[in-house]
């Protein structure tokens, strides 16, 4: 059995369903958690959920564009993680909390 | 040599250039001590335009009256609407060009002398005063003029450094602007461009009437009454009264466009005979009356005549150029230009005839008792414009234009002569006496010989004395109206005859008031104090234009207008009015026709002579005849003195009435409109006070709202899908 | 296999693998967002990411699977763990009422969103249509079918813009190379060259930005936090603040330590020009009132 046969046997919708459920989970995490790091992780989860749809569609349509997009998303995610974590470091140094509700420097 | 008609654009371009140079670099001129250079430049521009105009007029004559249309570019292309910048040159245009540039040239030259000293010494300006309480009610004149008080309580006059510095350059800038505007008006090849020129002359008229905008004088007349001389108020009055007429004009132009789909003269006039029965909106009579409304405002016709006498607050050259020779004739030009339209609207023609006749009599009667030198001439202008409109209304198109042509010369002459008199009697002002009141004058004949002679020539021409210009033109209108030579008002022939009779009365009055003026100013006894007032003749730069104009007033009538109804001007203008005239002007001398016309003109002459005789009896020497006449008809005299109470009536009707309406509207606005607006505002203030709590400032809450929105969108997509899957929804 | 007249397709190996991977991923995702400890959350996220790598393999994208493990699990998540451990922070006490409500309300809302997504995906596509056998409906795009296999397309002209966005890849070639990193490499360095370069530039910027942000700031020369007085700004002579600063500088306030630094570098300018009584300060003009007790 070649790998393309395996693809053929899993419907596209299944991937989409998994992606949608993971997306909803990530979003719930963003809304419920108060640790900014965990919120960050939830955002990463949401991005990965989207990545699945990109690759699934690309494979289904016999296109490499989906995979190329995922490469870019991963790149941006890496950049975002680097900058975002640096910002969190700087913020925590200023005020020792990870609750975004307490990060209110700009509000004043 | 290129066809001179292709250079027609240069005619308005020259004064425009003069205006721009003097206007933009006026300060440089003043600073460099070249005030006079600016005035020479402006005058040169107008003189060049005059030369070109003469060439154009000759070229038009050589074309056998074929109209020349010259399009520069399309100004507004907008859907069906198209407005071009272009020129339309025919005999009528050429005549107007000659009048405008000719009189403008002489007035410019004259103004160099008249306005040279306008940068008046502030010391002189500042010292006038007056008394609030006139002594006139008791009828006893004050023993002596009120003592001069420096900047008295009323502060009558604000000394202006500006007049001293920039006055002359500014004046010539405005004058050139006016000439440019008037040429645009005359040369336009469509109604919209004509309207642009129309408004521009209104603007320059406003600017020039209010030229001495800092002046707030109160002068005393011989009976102690005070007369206010506040030019900027006169300017406003002229502008606002003109707005009424211009409103009608604008609506008329819109109606033309609605019904014809074009505003170009050529197309409108070609379409008029077929289109007259296919009007979408209104009809030809209404359209013509709306156009005539504009003409009434601009040409000071009853009941919109009230602005013109007040406009005399401007400098005298302005009065001569704008308020006698050119701008006020724009209305006559408009009606004459629209002759194919008016021809198709006999009812409108009748209205023109009646308004013209009424105005002619109205102006003449008021002029009989007026005491202000310039206002007498102004009312004379109103009256003469009435003659022109009566001529138009009677279908005497060419006679009306002929009268316009001659009137420009002799009325310009009269105004410039008045200016010369005022110039010589300037000392009156220093005593706080009204320098324009003829009752302060008298016996000036020997002091101003040139002015006197030219003025008398102007008066004779205005009165219509054979063989001067006014005789040929004015009396041609009267005889034409009586004989119905125009033939347009066939159904109303009797109206023409009645109007002619009234115009004869007008002739009598005209002669009377003109010579009342002449006798009171130059003869009779001196009413001024020789120790303080030193009358003098004006310098040559002012008298030369007077002499030129006087010569023109003598010969121009017989030169272009003889024989009556078949003169040079009649042949020249015939192509313009070919479509609306009963018959072509006779090519030669027609004895029977001449006798008929000339006979009627002699009647007119008789009336004029009667008027002069009466004036001679009453005013040549000091006597009590006029006093007793005044005593015999006190009510009539008062009515005339109060100018038939027009200003008072308008004050009551429009000013007070308008105020009452405005107050009512203001109350409505404050309570209802503002109430609604404030109510809406307070509702939203209240609502936002409630909604404010949505903004918690927590990032999580905002993310939540995004998610809720996404959920909502998905719900909209999902619900139909579920229903479909369940078979509930197809 | 038939149960009560209804045909249930026998799951293939691929389907079994898929179901296992996705079930673990969903459960791990739920675990991730419910753990109290951030370290636990991060570890559960690693689990999710590994499952997704498996899905990529299943999707014929082995390069992405490796990328997922190396970059996400290997680099980004390790970075997260470093930060968590560096900061040593736990979630603090509940702050306010509003957030508390949201923490409860977000669960049903998230669940509703998941249900909606499932409904939309499931009902809008062929899953609910039994006429099309699963596995056939999905994977064959219509456009390649429309192109007869016997007529190979010339290179450089894709059949449709949609299934061949780069424009340079014929369907056959994609099918041939699909799954091989080489194909993705060619795609990235040809059709996506500019985005690729820009992405690398973004990474560079992010690295610089991270360094700048994470760098420890220079300490403020002297700040009296407890009193809310900035010495650097100085005070108006004679004002209460000036008196207070004078006290601080004289060491009369216990627990406040003043660090004096020369801000101007080479030029030995007095750091607090408006405060009198400082060593090296120029004497005041006599007109000025004394600024503090030290003056």
A107 contacts on B by Cβ (under 8 Å): 697
What band does A13 get if pLDDT is binned at 50, 70 and 90?
confident
pLDDT at B183: 92
Cβ neighbours of B659 (radius 10 Å): 10
Residue B396: CB partners within 8 Å, gap ≥ 6? B476, B477, B480, B481, B485, B486
Distance CA B560, CA B522 (A): 31
C183 contacts on A by Cβ (under 8 Å): 64
| Pairs from C8-13 (Cβ < 8 Å, separation ≥ 24) | C9/C133, C9/C134, C9/C135, C12/A6, C12/A9, C12/A10, C12/C135, C13/A1, C13/A6, C13/A9
Which residue intervals of B397-492 are DSSP H helices?
397-424, 427-430, 449-463, 469-483
Among A101, A104, A107, select the one facing B700 at the smallest CB separation. A101
Is B703 within 8 Å of A30 when comparing Cβ atoms? Answer: yes
Q: Average of pLDDT values for B618-623?
A: 80
Q: Average of pLDDT values for B5-23?
A: 87
Q: Mind listing the domains of chain A with CATH numbers?
A: 12-97 (1.10.287.3510)
Which residue would you say has higher pLDDT here, B544 or A9? Answer: B544
Share of chain B above pLDDT 70, in %: 89
Cβ neighbours of B204 (radius 10 Å): 24
The number of residues making up chain B comes to 730
Name which of B699, B702, B714 to mutate to probe chain C: the one with the most chain C Cβ atoms within 10 A of its Cβ: B714
- Report the DSSP beta bridge partners of residue B227: B219
Give the torsion through C-alpha atoms of B165, B169, B170, B173, to 10 deg. -170
Name which of C91, C100, C114, C119 to mutate to probe chain B: the one with the most chain B Cβ atoms within 10 A of its Cβ: C119
B partners (3+ CB pairs within 8 A) are: A, C
B703 contacts on A by Cβ (under 8 Å): 30-31
pLDDT at C171: 53
pLDDT at C6: 61
Q: What is the model's pTM?
A: 0.60
pLDDT at C1: 52
Q: Kindly report the nearest CA distance between residue B690 and chain A, in angstroms.
A: 21
Identify which of B553, B425, B540, B419 has the alpha carbon closest to the alpha carbon of residue B109: B540
3-state SS of B191-244 is HHHHHHHHHHHHHHHHHHHCCCCCCCEEEECCCCCEEEECHHHHHHHHHHHHHH
Q: What is the mean pLDDT of chain B?
A: 81
B681 in contact with chain A, both atoms CB, cutoff 8 A: no
> How many pairs of residues across A and C have Cβ atoms under 8 Å apart?
297
Cβ neighbours of B88 (radius 10 Å): 23
pLDDT at B686: 92
Share of chain B above pLDDT 90, in %: 12
C109 contacts on B by Cβ (under 8 Å): 704, 707-708, 711
pLDDT at B268: 87
Distance CA B699, CA B696 (A): 8
pLDDT at C55: 92
Which two tokens mark B671? 């309570």
pLDDT tens-digit profile of B674-700? 889 899 999 999 999 888 887 777 777
Please identify which residue in the block is written with the tokens 């998941």. C114
For residue C270, CA distances in Å to B279, C229, C262, C282 come to: 92, 18, 8, 9
Q: Is the pLDDT of residue B730 over 60?
A: no
Distance CA C124, CA C118 (A): 10
Distance CA C55, CA A42 (A): 19
Which residue would you say has higher pLDDT here, B35 or B458? Answer: B458
pLDDT at B340: 87
Q: Is the pLDDT of residue A3 over 70?
A: no
**With contact defined as beta carbons under 8 Å apart, do C8 and C1 qualify?**
yes
For residue B565, CA distances in Å to B476, B586, B597, C281 come to: 7, 8, 9, 108
Is C48 within 8 Å of A86 when comparing Cβ atoms? Answer: no
Distance CA C59, CA C51 (A): 12
Residue B194: CB partners within 8 Å, gap ≥ 6? B185, B188, B334, B337
Listed range (B26-40, B608-622, C2-16, C187-201) with the worst mean pLDDT: C2-16
Q: Kindly report the nearest CA distance between residue A88 and chain C, in angstroms.
A: 9
B699 contacts on A by Cβ (under 8 Å): 100-101
Is the Cα dihedral B95, B98, B100, B106 positive or negative? negative
pLDDT tens-digit profile of B290-316? 999 999 988 888 888 888 888 888 888
What band does B145 get if pLDDT is binned at 50, 70 and 90?
very low
Rg, Å, chain C Cα set: 34
Give the torsion through C-alpha atoms of C17, C19, C21, C25, to 10 deg. 180
Q: Average of pLDDT values for B552-565?
A: 80
C123 contacts on B by Cβ (under 8 Å): 718, 721-722, 724-725
| Pairs from C89-92 (Cβ < 8 Å, separation ≥ 24) | C89/A35, C89/A92, C89/A96, C89/A97, C89/A98, C89/C38, C90/A35, C90/C37, C90/C38, C91/A33, C91/A34, C91/A35, C91/A98, C91/A99, C91/C36, C92/A34, C92/A97, C92/A98, C92/A99, C92/A102
Q: Kindly report the nearest CA distance between residue A105 and chain C, in angstroms.
A: 16
Give the torsion through C-alpha atoms of C41, C44, C45, C50, to 10 deg. 170
Which residue would you say has higher pLDDT here, B426 or B339? Answer: B339
**With contact defined as beta carbons under 8 Å apart, do C192 and A64 qualify?**
no
Is C83 within 8 Å of A55 when comparing Cβ atoms? Answer: no
What band does A70 get if pLDDT is binned at 50, 70 and 90?
very high
Name which of B719, B721, B726 to mutate to probe chain C: the one with the most chain C Cβ atoms within 10 A of its Cβ: B721
C98 contacts on B by Cβ (under 8 Å): 696, 698, 701
* ipTM surpasses 0.90: no
Which two tokens mark B482? 């009586």
Is A107 within 8 Å of B699 when comparing Cβ atoms? Answer: no
Which two tokens mark B220? 């005393």
The tally of CA atoms less than 13 A away on the side-chain side of residue C258 is 20
Which two tokens mark B463? 């009165």
For residue C185, CA distances in Å to A64, A67, B178, C56 come to: 10, 10, 79, 17
Count Cβ atoms within 10 A of the Cβ of residue B562 and give its class: 0-12 exposed, 13-18 middle, 19 or more buried.
middle
pLDDT at C92: 53
pLDDT tens-digit profile of B456-468? 999 998 888 888 8
Listed range (A35-49, B108-122, B490-504, C275-289) with the worst mean pLDDT: C275-289
Identify which of B402, C206, B30, C9 has the alpha carbon closest to the alpha carbon of residue A78: C206
Among C55, C92, C103, select the one facing A97 at the smallest CB separation. C92
B718 contacts on C by Cβ (under 8 Å): 116, 119-120, 123
Q: Which of residues 99-158 of B touch A (CB under 8 A)?
A: none
C-alpha triplet C93, C94, C96: angle, nearest 5°:
140
Is C178 within 8 Å of A59 when comparing Cβ atoms? Answer: yes
Residue C106, SS3?
helix
Q: How is chain A split among helix, strand and coil, in percent rounded to 5?
A: 80, 0, 20
- Split chain C (295 residues) into runs of 10 and give each run's mean pLDDT: 62 86 94 88 93 90 90 88 78 56 82 86 60 36 38 39 45 58 83 90 92 74 50 67 73 66 48 45 46 44
Distance CA B361, CA B341 (A): 27
């Amino acid at each position: 059995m070649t790998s393309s046969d395996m693809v053929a046997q899993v419907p596209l919708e299944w991937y989409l369903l998994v992606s949608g459920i993971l997306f909803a989970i990530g979003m719930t995490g963003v809304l419920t958690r108060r640790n900014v790091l965990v919120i960050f992780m939830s955002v990463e989860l949401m991005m990965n959920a989207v990545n699945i749809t990109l690759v699934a569609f690309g494979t289904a349509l016999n296109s490499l564009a989906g995979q190329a997009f995922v490469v870019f998303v991963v790149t941006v995610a890496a950049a975002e993680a680097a900058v975002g974590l640096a910002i969190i470091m700087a913020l925590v140094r200023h005020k020792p909390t990870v609750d975004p509700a307490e990060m209110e420097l700009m509000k004043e | 040599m290129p066809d001179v008609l292709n250079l027609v654009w240069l005619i308005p371009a020259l004064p425009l250039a003069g205006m721009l140079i003097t206007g933009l670099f006026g300060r440089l001129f003043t600073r460099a001590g070249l005030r006079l250079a600016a005035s020479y430049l402006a005058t040169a521009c107008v003189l060049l335009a005059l030369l070109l105009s003469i060439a154009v007029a000759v070229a038009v004559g050589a074309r056998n009256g074929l109209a020349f249309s010259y399009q520069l570019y399309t100004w507004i292309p907008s859907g069906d609407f198209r407005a071009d910048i272009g020129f339309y040159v025919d005999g009528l245009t050429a005549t107007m060009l000659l009048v405008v540039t000719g009189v403008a040239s002489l007035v410019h030259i004259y103004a160099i002398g008249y306005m040279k000293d306008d940068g008046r010494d502030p010391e002189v300006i500042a010292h006038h005063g007056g008394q609030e309480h006139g002594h006139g009610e008791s009828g006893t004149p004050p023993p002596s003029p009120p003592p001069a008080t420096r900047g008295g309580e009323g502060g009558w006059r604000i000394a202006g450094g500006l007049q001293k510095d920039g006055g002359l350059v500014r004046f010539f800038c405005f004058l050139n602007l006016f000439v440019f505007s008037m040429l645009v008006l005359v040369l336009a090849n469509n109604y919209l461009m004509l309207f642009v020129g129309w408004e521009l002359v209104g603007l320059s008229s406003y600017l020039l009437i209010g030229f001495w905008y800092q002046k707030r004088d109160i002068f005393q007349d011989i009976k102690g009454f005070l007369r206010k001389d506040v030019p900027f108020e006169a300017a406003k009055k002229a502008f606002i009264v003109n707005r009424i007429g211009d409103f009608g004009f604008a609506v008329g132009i819109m109606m033309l466009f609605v019904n014809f789909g074009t505003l170009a003269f050529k197309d409108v006039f070609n379409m008029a005979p077929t289109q007259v029965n296919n009007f979408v909106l209104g009809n030809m009579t209404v359209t013509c009356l709306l156009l005539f409304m504009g003409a009434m405002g601009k040409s000071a016709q009853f009941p919109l005549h009230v602005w013109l006498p007040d406009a005399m607050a401007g400098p005298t050259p302005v009065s001569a150029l704008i308020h006698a020779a050119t701008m006020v004739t724009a209305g006559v030009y408009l009606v004459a230009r629209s002759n194919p339209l008016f021809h198709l609207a006999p009812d409108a023609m009748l209205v023109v005839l009646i308004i013209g006749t009424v105005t002619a009599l109205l102006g003449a009667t008021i002029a009989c008792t007026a005491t202000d030198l310039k206002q007498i001439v102004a009312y004379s202008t109103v009256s003469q414009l009435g003659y022109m409109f009566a001529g138009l209304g009677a279908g005497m198109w060419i006679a009306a234009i002929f009268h316009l042509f001659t009137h420009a010369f002799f009325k310009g002459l009269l105004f410039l002569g008045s200016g010369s008199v005022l110039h010589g009697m300037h000392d009156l002002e220093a005593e706080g006496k009204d320098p324009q009141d003829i009752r302060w004058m008298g016996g000036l004949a020997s002091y101003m010989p040139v002015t006197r002679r030219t003025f008398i020539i102007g008066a004779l021409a205005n009165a219509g004395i054979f063989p001067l210009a006014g005789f040929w033109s004015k009396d041609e209108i009267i005889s034409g109206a009586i004989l119905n030579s125009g033939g347009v008002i066939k159904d109303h022939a009797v109206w023409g005859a009645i109007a002619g009779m009234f115009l004869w009365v007008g002739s009598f009055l005209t002669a009377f008031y003109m010579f009342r003026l002449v006798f009171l100013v130059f003869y009779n006894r001196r009413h001024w104090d020789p120790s303080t007032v030193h009358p003098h003749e004006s310098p040559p730069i002012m008298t030369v234009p007077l002499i030129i104009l006087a010569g023109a007033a003598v010969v121009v009538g017989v030169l272009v207008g003889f024989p009556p109804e078949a003169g040079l001007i009649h042949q020249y203008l015939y192509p313009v009015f070919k479509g609306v005239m009963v018959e072509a002007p006779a090519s030669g001398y027609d004895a029977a026709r001449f006798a008929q016309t000339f006979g009627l003109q002699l009647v007119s002459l008789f009336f004029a002579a009667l008027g002069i005789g009466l004036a001679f009896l009453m005013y040549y020497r000091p006597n009590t005849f006029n006093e007793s006449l005044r005593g015999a008809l006190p009510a009539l005299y008062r009515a005339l003195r109060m100018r038939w109470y027009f200003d008072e009536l308008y004050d009551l009707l429009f000013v007070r009435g308008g105020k009452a309406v405005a107050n009512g509207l203001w109350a409505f606005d404050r309570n209802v409109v503002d109430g609604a607006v404030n109510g809406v505002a307070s509702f939203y203030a209240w609502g936002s006070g409630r909604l404010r709590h949505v903004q918690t400032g927590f990032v999580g809450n905002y993310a939540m709202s995004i998610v809720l929105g996404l959920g909502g969108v998905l719900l909209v997509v999902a619900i139909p899908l579920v229903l479909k899957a369940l078979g509930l929804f197809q | 296999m038939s149960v009560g007249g209804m045909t249930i397709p026998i799951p293939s190996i691929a389907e079994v693998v898929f179901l296992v991977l996705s079930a673990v991923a969903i459960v791990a995702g739920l675990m991730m967002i419910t753990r109290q400890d951030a370290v636990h959350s991060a570890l559960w996220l690693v689990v999710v990411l590994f499952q997704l790598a498996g899905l990529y393999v299943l999707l014929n994208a082995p390069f992405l699977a490796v990328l997922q493990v190396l970059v996400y699990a290997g680099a980004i998540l390790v970075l997260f763990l470093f930060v968590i451990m560096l900061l040593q922070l736990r979630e603090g006490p509940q702050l306010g009422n509003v957030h508390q409500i949201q923490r409860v309300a977000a669960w049903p809302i998230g669940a509703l969103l998941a249900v909606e997504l499932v409904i939309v995906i499931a009902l809008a596509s062929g899953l609910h249509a039994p006429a099309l056998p699963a596995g056939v409906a999905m994977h064959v795009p219509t456009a390649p079918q429309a192109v007869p296999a016997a007529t190979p397309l010339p290179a450089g002209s894709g059949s449709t813009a949609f299934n061949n966005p780069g424009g340079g890849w014929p369907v056959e070639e994609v099918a041939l190379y699909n799954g091989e990193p080489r194909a993705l490499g060619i795609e990235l360095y040809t059709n996506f060259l500019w985005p690729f370069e820009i992405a690398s530039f973004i990474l560079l910027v992010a690295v610089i930005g991270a360094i700048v942000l994470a760098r420890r700031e220079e300490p403020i020369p002297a700040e009296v936090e407890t009193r809310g007085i900035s010495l650097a700004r100085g005070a108006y002579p004679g004002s209460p603040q000036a008196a207070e600063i004078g006290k601080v500088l004289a060491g009369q306030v216990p627990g406040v330590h003043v660090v004096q630094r020369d801000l101007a570098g080479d030029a030995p300018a007095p750091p607090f020009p408006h405060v009198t009584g400082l060593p090296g300060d120029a004497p005041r003009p006599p007109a000025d009132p004394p600024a503090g007790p030290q003056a």
